[in-house]
Chains A and B, each alone.
Chain A
Amino acid sequence: GEDVEQSLFLSVREGDSSVINCTYTDSSSTYLYWYKQEPGAGLQLLTYIFSNMDMKQDQRLTVLLNKKDKHLSLRIADTQTGDSAIYFCAESAPGYSSASKIIFGSGTRLSIRP
């Protein structure tokens, strides 16, 4: 079945790079997503990658996709206190009715230490 796994916690020093890792099971996923959830708020789409890409860079964010190993990572360069949040990895599940079904991981809580 479909499953997305990620570690629950990550602590990094301010200014360092953060790398959040994720594994998924559905090789037919068209898109893979990273959502960010700040305290008391809903999920916001941070970035995404199409399944035929290996890498996507967007300012401080770099997404790497290894389709062979079904591994997705999010690198945040120069991590700031404002990056403290829960980061959710998610994969699309095409063919599920006509809705845009997404399978979410359990989320990685990123904390920044001075």
Chain B
Amino acid sequence: NAGVTQTPKFQVLKTGQSMTLQCAQDMNHNSMYWYRQDPGMGLRLIYYSASEGTTDKGEVPNGYNVSRLNKREFSLRLESAAPSQTSVYFCASSEPSGQGSFQPQHFGDGTRLSIL
């Protein structure tokens, strides 16, 4: 049971380089999310996709773009990496919440990204 798969697991970039983080889920979920995790700050939502063909900004979208390639895949792109984007990036997926329905998010193992 793969669940949510993120690639790569680790990456080091130089300032100004571009990079695409890949995420795929095999649970047939409609919604997908990208978070960043920084020490002492928990997880902050970067972008999300409620369903295939839609994307929306989260709490910290600046410096990032996303693509919902199909129902399975949701990629995160850094066009010009900055040291402030050094973080651990997590992808998650879920079914839409509806009215009071229980729809937890399922997480990948993360991509550890360092920008020098």
Which residues of A are interface residues toward B (Cβ below 8 A)?
A: 4, 8, 30-31, 33, 40-45, 48, 50, 88, 92, 94, 97-102, 104-107
Contacts and interface: CB of A to CB of B under 8 A. Distances in A.
Nearest to B98: A98
Contacts of B110: 41-42
Given A31-B102, A48-B104, A94-B100, A104 B50 contact: no
Interface string B74-116: 0000000000000000101011111110111111111000000
A106 B35 CA distance: 13
A112 to B, nearest CB: 21
A28 B98 CA distance: 14
Contacts of B109: 40-42
13 contacts: A30-B97, A43-B92, A43-B105, A88-B43, A92-B97, A98-B31, A98-B51, A99-B31, A99-B48, A99-B94, A102-B105, A106-B41, A106-B42
B33 A99 contact: yes
A43 B97 contact: no
Contacts of A42: 4, 90, 107-110
Given A42-B4, A94-B99, A100-B104, 8 more contacts: A42-B108, A42-B110, A45-B106, A88-B42, A92-B97, A99-B48, A100-B95, A105-B42
Contacts of B92: 43
B40 interface: yes
B56 interface: yes
B107 A44 contact: yes
Nearest to B35: A104
Contact of A48 (B33, B41, B96, B102): B102
